[in-house]
A and B are shown apart, each in its own frame.
Chain A
Amino acid sequence: MPDALVIEHLSKAYGKPAVDDLRLTVRAGELYALLGPNGAGKTTTLRMVAGLLEPDTGSIRIFGIDARADPTAAKQITAWAPDEPLLYDRLSPMEYLEFVAGLWGVEPGPARERAEQLLRWLGLWEERHQRCESFSRGMKQKTALAGALIHDPRLLILDEPLTGLDAAAARLVKDILIERVRGGGAVVLTTHILEVAERMADRIGIIRQGRLVAEGSLEELRAGARQSARTLEDVFLDLTGEAA
């Protein structure tokens, strides 16, 4: 099976480089956490993978598909969920899922069944006909996640997926992500909550000034950092040069 995501020599500059000759590989069946300080280039990288930004140079392959040469095929198996939920305030969750399923060309029958399954799973079934404008941040985040999962993507890209979620919802989302990975899909996420990366990620990439400065499991990262670095937070601060 090809790797879920292969990024090679990826660069993007807005005057100064935001992503600089980035190389990164995410295997199928892996949850990969991309960490870095603010402005390190995490979101820019993910937006290029999702097809929202055109890279200046470099290549992106998603499950063997060249995302720059055949963006439609790559988008078909990818889902993107940013930190600000992509929702229509005046649509209900059911109507929103119908629209997203249509965009990804999911057949109406299976799409409806999957929408019901997702909304029940995420605890939104009772609110399925309520407009999203009245939802809390967490409910909006869960609706957007249901939208990202409606077409059963093989690669799920999440930017700060746990922002605004309460403990129960955060646990639910973590369980969903782990299940996706166990099913052979791949998840790439950014997070500022290092504990999430520490507990969930199979591998962690640390990005700084648009370049990958370290990559590996938590143990591998610890080994590469100074001796006193015991937690991921220590490793992160050490590698990003942000230690006090």
Chain B
Amino acid sequence: MRFPVGSTAWLLAHEIRLAWRTALRGKVGRRRLIIVSALLTVGTAAIGLPAALFLRHVQIPITPVTVAVSDVALLALFSLMLSQTLSATVETFYTRGDLDLLLSSPLTPRKILTTRVLAMAANVFTGAAVLITPVLLPVALLGHPTWIAVYGVLAALAFGACAAGLVAALALFRLIGPLRTRAVAQVMAAVIGGAFFLVTQVRNILGAHQTSVWMDVASSAARSGAGGSPLAALPLRALLGGTGPLVVMLGVGAVLLTAATLWIGRRFDDIAAAAGGAAILHPRRPSREAPFARGAFAATVKKELRLLGRDAALLSQVLLRLLYLVPLIILALRNASGHAHWALPSGVAAVTLMVGQVAASLSWITFSAEDTPELLKCAPAAFATLSRAKMTAALGPLAVLMFAPLVILIVISPRAGLAALAGCIASGLASGLINSWRRGNGKRAEFLRRGTVSYTVAIAQFLIGALIAAAAGLAAAGSLLAPAPFFLAGVVLFFLRRSDQAIIKAVS
């Protein structure tokens, strides 16, 4: 189908074509498509079909409890979507790409923003739709055809999240200025994304009994009668296929998104120009001229730490993972003082796993995103020295962050604390080594998302992290089996190793 040249539909088709080609580019892209297709098929067969057979004759009643549960679930989903759209909106403002070309063309800024916003909404909707399709599709086909309306509710939520993301990003832009908005918005996005998880852990953190906070919220909402109001029941009615409620939800979402786009679209070119010129308008001046670093190792560590600290998207990812770590650490510390038998080793294993994941994020970008590989190659510094420096820069901040909690854990429960310490060191080092051996080759600006990492390496990395976490957990429990998973992790790691020469050849 051909759209009129210069129309919103024409521009949107161009964006979709670019996104599609980028997603499926090269071997990694094709592999990604195969893996997603395989996961959808397996998910449909393993979860979707049994669920469909089980739910075939089940009717969901509209009661205060079901209304409250569905509202809370949709609220949680909305918070996750908002986290994505806030981050994406800010990147729309700041990432130049072809923005300068588009803004210099006769296309109106509003049209350009509309296209970007629709692409953002489509992205958020697709992410959620792909996750629920293996279950929803069989359920809808085998007994509940009206439940296909769930897709409509997802679209309405995606529209609403995009509108809220746009308004929040503009508010930040106005309040704190273009220089700080990018970093603050990424942090906010991480906090919003992690907030749902943190709230679910409030009871665990506070030491209350193991019941779900969300179930409590839903129960109190139901008891208070809020779940019985027509407005509160609207989302559930829409989910179950009620045409009127679905139209209302989609309409509200579309109106909010249109209003936000029209409002911000008028000043989009000014915002993009201000974002692009932020560094010029506000040069950073250190309070004093610091002395230079001595030697290749120190200079590289300093350079990498500076670049890590200035990568707002990466900081957001790391912060999100650290937010997930907080309740796990608190849980481990509390159980350590209470001498809980299995809760403590589980906490130690979870902390070890999360430390490995954070280390993977930091070391992946440190090793793989190098803006000037030629500069390093023509310098007289040894490759091994530069690799050690990058490893230090990637793992150093994590070591500093984990130091105090691990010391406290060792004091409270020496065995568990030492197991956690050994696990964290091993999983951090393993992640660092894997990302050093299997490093990619690209500019930092191209590494905003983890999408370019090889799936094989990502799976091996997760496997090694899980094995080390299991070993740490078993060690914390005093099990003699602890060395077994640790040994297995070592075997997998052994097969991933590469010599310096092989790494140089691979990235050249």
Within 73-112 of A, Cβ neighbours of B (below 8 Å) are at: 73, 75-76, 78, 80, 82, 86-92, 95, 98-105, 107-109, 111-112
Bound-state CA distance A91–B306 (Å) is: 8
Bound-state CA distance A87–B299 (Å) is: 15
- Whether A117 is near chain B, meaning CB under 8 Å from some CB there, is no
- Pick the contact of B292: A75, A82, A102 (CB < 8 A): A102
Given A90-B307, A101-B299, A131-B279, A108-B374 contact (CB < 8 Å): no
- Pick the contact of A88: B280, B293, B298, B307 (CB < 8 A): B307
Bound-state CA distance A134–B289 (Å) is: 21
Give the residues in chain A near B293, CB-CB below 8 Å: 98-99, 102, 108
Whether B295 lies near A105 (C-beta < 8 A) is yes
Give the residues in chain B near A101, CB-CB below 8 Å: 292, 299
Whether A95 lies near B306 (C-beta < 8 A) is yes
Whether B303 lies near A87 (C-beta < 8 A) is no
Given A112-B292, A129-B284, A100-B310 contact (CB < 8 Å): no
Total interface residues on B, using CB and 8 Å? 36
Give the residues in chain B near A92, CB-CB below 8 Å: 283-284
Whether A98 lies near B380 (C-beta < 8 A) is no
Whether A104 lies near B303 (C-beta < 8 A) is no
Per-residue CB contact flags for chain B residues 352-394 toward chain A (1 = under 8 Å, else 0) read 0000000000000000000110111111111000000000000
- Whether B300 is near chain A, meaning CB under 8 Å from some CB there, is yes
Give the residues in chain B near A105, CB-CB below 8 Å: 295-296, 380-381
- Whether A72 is near chain B, meaning CB under 8 Å from some CB there, is yes
Give the residues in chain B near A88, CB-CB below 8 Å: 303, 307, 371-372, 444
A49 to chain B, nearest CB (A): 10
A163 to chain B, nearest CB (A): 16
Closest Cβ neighbor of A53 among chain B residues = B508
Give the residues in chain A near B4, CB-CB below 8 Å: none
- Whether B57 is near chain A, meaning CB under 8 Å from some CB there, is no
Closest Cβ neighbor of A101 among chain B residues = B292
Whether A91 lies near B303 (C-beta < 8 A) is yes
- Whether B97 is near chain A, meaning CB under 8 Å from some CB there, is no
Give the residues in chain A near B377, CB-CB below 8 Å: 51-52
B142 to chain A, nearest CB (A): 53
Bound-state CA distance A86–B372 (Å) is: 5
- Pick the contact of B302: A78, A87, A99, A111 (CB < 8 A): A99
Whether B379 lies near A108 (C-beta < 8 A) is no
Give the residues in chain B near A130, CB-CB below 8 Å: 279-280, 283-284
- The 9 A-B residue pairs with the shortest CB-CB distance, nearest first, are A102-B299, A103-B379, A108-B292, A130-B283, A134-B279, A75-B380, A86-B372, A86-B375, A134-B280
7 A-B contacts (beta carbon < 8 Å): A50-B378, A75-B380, A90-B307, A98-B293, A99-B293, A102-B302, A103-B375
